[in-house]
Structure 1
Amino acid sequence: MIAAAYPGSAPPRSSAAVVAAIDLKGVTKTYAGRDGGSVHALGPVDLRIEPGSFVSVVGPSGCGKSTLLRLVAGLELPNEGVMQRYGTALDGPSHEVGIVFQEHVLFPWITVLENVLLPADVLALPKAISRERAMRLLEMTGLKDFAHLRPQMLSGGMKQRAAFCRAMLSDPRLLLLDEPFGALDALTREELSLELSRLWQELGRTALLITHDIEEAILLGDRVLIMSERPGTIRTDIAVDLPRPRNADTVKLPRFQEIKHQVRDIIFNRAQA
């Protein structure tokens, strides 16, 4: 496990504070429409995420999943409601938050290591500690031998691993994942889902995943939140009572399949939320 690298970085999960990592109350988001009207995209949403937990969010396309993640990231502000991150007002971006998007967004003209170290320049983090942490993250994700190559030499899955390392460089307390494996083939996606589950347990951080993949949501999450169609609200909050660590055989468990069918039935309106 990588120890906290910077002053004020997140404590291990065992010593996490009792305040919620994320606490949303009555949060709504409305956008201006092209016709001069407004589009009610999200809410009202009430959501509490405990420190050290992994929460997955699924729902139909256009239901506001990514809007929810941008609000939690502090990239957007709500029209109504109260948002807190670790007990303080959530009113903008923070170095306590790491984000992995569907596209890796690695710069092709610098090396993998230099890409991972970019947050150190932005946040003015200590260079020696940052480099050491970057190399340890690359080692954890199987990329140590590729550190001095440029991203175009890596496969799609390896690029996403590098993006994960970059997101974790500042030792954030909260990791946000917006369809991080959506552009990958099915086999690579499953492999990286299991890899992410392992890394999350080792690093002991809070995680929020947005995904269209029901199996991925269950395999990774402690909870699966099912959102309604727009304006998105949380229809159901399902506890994933499956043992950890999880592996490829977890999907074969009767309980896994039971949860999967429950989620599908709710999404496709075959069961009451």
Structure 2
Amino acid sequence: MKRDLLEGEVIGLSIKDFFTKDMLKIAILPLLFTLIIMLIFFYTAAGYGFDSLEIYVQQVQSGQEVTVDEQAPFYFIWMTSIIAFLFKYSITSWLVGFLIYTVGTIFVMMFSVFLTVIIIGFLTPMILKVLHKRHYSHLQTNGFGSLLTPLWIALKSGFIMVLLFILFIPLYFIPLVNIIAINFPVYYFFHKLLNFDVASTILSEDEYKAIHKKKAFAFRLRTAFLYFLSLIPSLMLFSAVFFIIYLGHSYFIQLEKLRSYDLDNNIDNDTKLIG
């Protein structure tokens, strides 16, 4: 029986696989798609001018009627309306500064994590196929779920993420606690999609339940580690493929152990019947 790999050895093996020619080719795709979408989003907003937001605020503070370009993107109109409302009252005006300079500074980072997780989901089967051929060709993979299952998981996880963001609003103004409160909803979405994409590609539903029953906490620690890495500026754009490789190795190793255990049990049972 093969020796169990230590977690550091799994990480080292994943890094080695990431820097292979096949994986580096795949790693370029989420980087390009994310950058393109982020640039489109940024320049669309910039086209209407962030300076105009300051004009709207000045209009509110001077008592003038606020006018918003009806052709502006919906998110720009929504953001302007919220900020203009807050600036009407001196008690709440300080909140605007917090929302813009604190929450705003991490918005691009959070959005890039969200976007990259969605994009990498389409590349997961391709990455795991290369990993399977390279290290685990002796194992048969049995994915579960339909074509609509990932969409359902994404919608459900996205809804819970938004709900958590709303529920945690009072915590955003408590130092240190706000760091956890802001990151936890995104981590929840990150964990659910990444974990499901990998597990559903490799395992059968019964195998997933069996592994999850014993190793759920270990996989949460792994995705928490990966989420922490994703918060390092620009790293998420380059390392998303590594995340799939690392979780892929972890699930393949658990699958190998599970099937070895089942095989040993079947041999023992057959021996008892013969005896």
What TM-score range do you get, normalising by the shorter chain?
under 0.3
**Who wins on radius of gyration, i.e. which is larger?**
2
* Structure (1/2) with the larger strand percentage: 1
Q: Which structure shows the bigger proportion of residues in helix conformation?
A: 2
- TM-score for both structures, normalised by structure 1: 0.25
TM-score (norm 2): 0.25
